Chain A
């Protein structure tokens, strides 16, 4: 067992366990904290695959921006000691059964699929910031600009939606 595989197993264990804890912890703040750990371990996976740019962007966007948004929203709503309504057993059972079915189908598909044995290695640099920037700004120029428009629209929309409406008379 090589060191890379051991690192992968540790990271995968952290990712899966924190994802489970995110869903099962009662306190939303705890879920948010577990989700941060999950995102950091996924960034670790990206680093393991040697895509440094994506790892850094992932940490900045997810662990930075998105989680701060989540935490602020949770604090804004004051959900700390939230008493979650007791849901009927029927709903729980349905969720668990459908989850098991989806798991079964997906895992069965991937077990039965043809195993991948060939790994090509060309040796050329394909994921440094230099190459990614060239690909992004040459081939994907138009989607890149549309992404900026999307972010602008999302920002305006978020401000408009969360603004307090004036009472109309």
Chain B
């Protein structure tokens, strides 16, 4: 156990120092990944697709309808435009990424990919259904990755008909800029599948941390109580939302405070994760803050709804008197 986690960290170090695609010790390029499949063209699927494509690997993204697939493509182009404005990429980088990613509604196209990453909503039944269908269309040796932050890999894997070839990889948004991935083994995940996942992490320049199946893994489990506590501080009238975020960003050099972070993720999503953790673990520390529940019921879901703990103009926090939402 210790051995494998150390190996893991080493792989992470190499991934940080090494260039894309090259294993420094052998000079061997990771050509085993030529084309990856992604199920789900939502925020996560799109973000993973962008990273995979910018690292030189072709991608097929499958959505449930051609209309949704087209919209996902537009959304990817929008994301790239925003990065271009921020000088993060160049016009040719954008062209290369868009040329490498194909959006379709036909799941059967994934049969021709080297590995499939499932990124549909954090809903156990939905993910099991995707696994079942992937199991039908893809050759039996193909590995499926499920991107989840809280759900049971073992349970999702069972639906695929090849549980030894399923593993969890929890990518974090924005995938191109977040150097971490949590690699989660289910009960039946084979060593070979695990090694392949590490190779993928390396090819994507991610530091991988191995996690044993447990709700929330590392980052979600540690983060959620912090967000929840920030909400309690506001609810109890201890401090304003503005000051909670100000204090936390200045004190811990965070780019975004916990409440704005929650707004940006989506308060409904945060509540879903909290609910799930609370139910799975049964510990009261994961009980969603009543203020969070209230905001979600009111439809104040955060950035995407234009208001949550704060008010938003598009993607930016609103300025002046309107900046803090009345709660």
Judge: A and B partners, yes or no: no
